[in-house]
Every structure is written in structure tokens, then in C-alpha cells.
Amino acid sequence: MHQIENRMNNSVTLKDIAKALNLSISTISKSLNDSYEISIDTKQKVLEYAQKHHYSPNRLAKGLKEGKSRSIGVVVCSLDNNVLAQMLDGIDTVSADNSYQIIIMQSKESQKQEAACIELLYSGGVDGILISPACETVDFSYLISLQKAGLPVVLFDRLSDQIVTHKVGADNFQGAYDATMHLIKKGYKNIAHLNTNTTLSIATERLNGYKQALADSKITYRPELLRSCDYSDTQKLNADLEAAIQYYMGLSDKPDAIFTATDQISTRCLTLLNKLGYHIPNDIALIGFTNTDLAEALNPALSTVHQPAFEIGQLAAKKLISLIERKNEDIEYETVMLETHIKARASTLGKE
């Protein structure tokens, strides 16, 4: 009874094959693993039987025995996110190529939930963790303790100085610099910047790029042109954005262009500007970070800073797998920032 009830599924096990072929379990195992200890004849028989009966090793048992599960945990703030979806695609592609499964979990931007995800992944025996930290997350001590316990961790997308490991992201500073420079070259002088209210690397780096471009162009940075929006939920974000736009437009020295820092902010800002009746780019120009395929089709076509999301995912996964597969050697951790690309479109057509 019990031994049948508790079977994971009806799949054949080594024991089944052993019984059927009148051999021992270890012989079966070794045959399937092509051990030198087993004769060719026996191997042949075993392999044949195994294929005929669709034997596939139980990953749980194998994982338990070997101390690894050939699975990678991925923690992101949300699945429903353009850029992240592309990164996940990249991660999955590389993982699949190396026969790793990925287990994706959502932090929903909550530090607490993120910790729960990591905890679950860890106890689930993942071989490593890929993480794009929640914007709430300031304390990396938990992750660090796991890392010290031997769990390979790689940061992607959103990076942090608080933990020493491989990190893969976009060159946000340069991207922001280029975007701002693009505006300046197009003749815009009063450039506003809409960012998040977080301390995320992507936020600060983009802000710094913006500032640097201004400085290099001898344009004085006007703090009143920087607005930060609540990133905790969509409702608040929209409200903050609308307030920011109204604020900008009410300024005596109005901005003539906006550089937006994230996907969400960029597209919503465009929507809101349209809704509030402002003409882009005549009333105000707009360029922003976003990876949407629809930039071209927007009203007007939106100039964007495009990041190589798929490639970031790929590289991050490669880095993690390399970490997993040579745990012993001591490695030099590196931070890779992939180039972004400016796609100039109608929303930054230029003055006059």
C-alpha cells in the first residue's frame, strides 16, 4: 500500500529496472551513468529497457544525494514587467542550455516578501540565486549570510554595493548621460528629470548621468526640475506623476524637455502629457528609459534609452552558472554594465 501511495508518480525507478532485469540497483545506476565498472552488454540491456519505459531520474533524489538540484532561483519585483520579462527570457535561455531549471519568485517590491522568497529558494536547494532586489531592500545581510554559507548569488538589473559578487546591469549612468546630451543637442535647455523616490542603483546612476551631462554642457543643475515619484504602487505613481507635470508646467521658468528614468515613468508620463493636453514635443519634449516595442507606435513616437535586457539576463545567468560550477576556485568578482542605446524619435524632434 504505502510504498505505492507515496510514489512521486508512476515513473519507473532504478529499483523497477533492477527487478525487471534481475540486476542490482547499483548496476542499473552505473550503467545509466556509463560507468567503466559495467560491461557493454549489460549497459546495452539497461539502456534499452530504460528508454523503452521512459525512465528519467528523479531530480529530488538526485539533488538530495548530490547536494545540488540543477535549479536556479530568480527573484524579481514583478513578472508583469516589460524589461524584466526580457531579462527573464535571457536567463531562461542560458539556463535551459545548461540544463538548469529556473524558479521565479516575485518580491512585489517588498523587502519582507523578498526575504521569504530567498528563504524558500534556499531551503528548496537551488544551486544559486539571481536577484534584482526590491526597491525597499536596504539590508543585504540575509543574502550575504547565505552567500557566506556557500550559496552563489548574482545581482542583475538593480545593483548594490552592499554585497560583493558578480553584478550585471545596464550602463545607466552613460544611458542617462546620452539621453540628456541628446536633448541638449536638440536644443533643449531646461531639462527636467523624473525619477523614482528610491535609492536603487538604477535611480541614482541615472540621476548622476543626467547631472553630469548638464555639467559637461555648462548648464546649471536646477534642483527644482528634479521630481521623485512614489514607486510603491501604480496608483501613487500616477498621482505623483500628474502632480509633477502640473508642477513643471506651473513653473515660471518651465522646462522644455523631460528625461524620465524608468519604463513605468516614461510611458505613463507620455500618456499623462497627452491626457493633460500638452503637445509633445512642441510644448515639452520627452525621452526616457523603456524597452517597449511600441515606442515607435506611440503618440508621438517616443525617444528612448534602450537597454539590452535579454543580454543582461543571459550574462547574469552565465556568471551564476560559472560560479556554481567552480565553487572551489577563488574568483574575482566583476561588475558588468552593458551599453544602452539611444533611439531618437519624434518626441525629441528638436526646437523650432
Name the site residues for its own copies (rule: CB under 8 A): 5-11, 56-61, 63-69, 71, 78-82, 85-86, 88-89, 92-93, 96, 101-106, 119-125, 146, 149-151, 267, 270-271, 274, 292-294, 296-301, 310
Is residue 38 involved in binding DNA (CB under 7 A)?
yes
**Minimum CB–partner distance for residue 82 and its own copies (Å):** 8
CA 139 from chain centre, in angstroms, equals: 19
Q: Where are the beta strands (DSSP E) in 148-232?
A: 153-156, 166-170, 191-196, 226-229
Distance CA 274, CA 241 (A): 13
Query: What is the closest distance, in whole angstroms, from the C-beta atom of residue 31 to DNA in the complex?
Result: 8
Q: How far apart are CA 194 and CA 266, in angstroms?
A: 9
Q: Does 37 bind DNA (CB under 7 A)?
A: yes
228, 195 Cβ separation under 8 angstroms: yes
Out of its own copies, DNA, none, what residue 42 binds, judged by CB under 5 to 8 A for its kind, is DNA
By CB under 7 A, residue 30 contacts DNA: yes
Q: What sign does the CA torsion over 132, 138, 140, 142 have?
A: negative
> Binder to DNA among 55, 188, 210, 289 (CB under 7 A)?
55
> Could you tell me if 154 and 166 are in contact, meaning their C-beta atoms sit under 8 angstroms apart?
yes
Residue 61 is a binding residue for DNA (CB under 7 A): yes
DSSP 93: H
Q: Binding partner of residue 228 among its own copies, DNA, none, CB under 5 to 8 Å per kind?
A: none
- Say whether residue 223 binds DNA (CB under 7 A): no
Q: Are 86 and 307 in contact (CB under 8 A)?
A: no
Query: Which one of its own copies, DNA, none is in contact with 120 (Cβ closer than 5 to 8 A by kind)?
Result: its own copies
88 binds, among its own copies, DNA, none (CB under 5 to 8 A by kind): its own copies
- What is the closest distance, in whole angstroms, from the C-beta atom of residue 140 to DNA in the complex? 25
C-alpha–C-alpha distance, residues 85 and 96, integer Å: 16
Q: Is 20 in the site for DNA (CB under 7 A)?
A: no
Q: Is residue 248 exposed (0-12), middle (13-18) or buried (19+ Cβ within 10 Å)?
A: buried
* Among DNA, its own copies, none, residue 340 binds (CB under 5-8 Å by kind): none
Strands 71-76 and 128-131: parallel
Q: Which of 1, 19, 20, 41 binds DNA (CB under 7 A)?
A: 41
Per the structure block, which three cell numbers stand in for 216? 559637461
86 binds, options DNA, its own copies, none, Cβ within 5 to 8 A by partner type = its own copies
We find the least distance from the C-beta atom of residue 136 to its own copies, in angstroms, to be 17
**How near is the Cβ of 200 to its own copies at its closest, in Å?**
21
Beta-carbon contacts of residue 222 (< 8 Å; ≥ 6 apart):
190
If the CB atoms of residues 27 and 195 are measured against DNA, the closer one turns out to be 27
- Shortest Cβ distance from residue 317 to its own copies (Å)? 13
Grid cell locating 220: 546649471
Cis peptide before 281 (omega within 30 of 0): yes
Sort strands 166-170 and 153-156 into parallel, antiparallel or unpaired.
parallel
Which residue, 147 or 217, has its beta carbon nearer to its own copies? 147
Query: What is the Cα gyration radius of the chain?
Result: 26
Answer with the entry of its own copies, DNA, none that 267 interacts with (C-beta below 5 to 8 A by kind). its own copies
Residue ranges binding DNA (CB under 7 A): 3, 6-8, 11, 13-15, 22-27, 29-30, 32-33, 37-42, 55-58, 61-62, 64-67
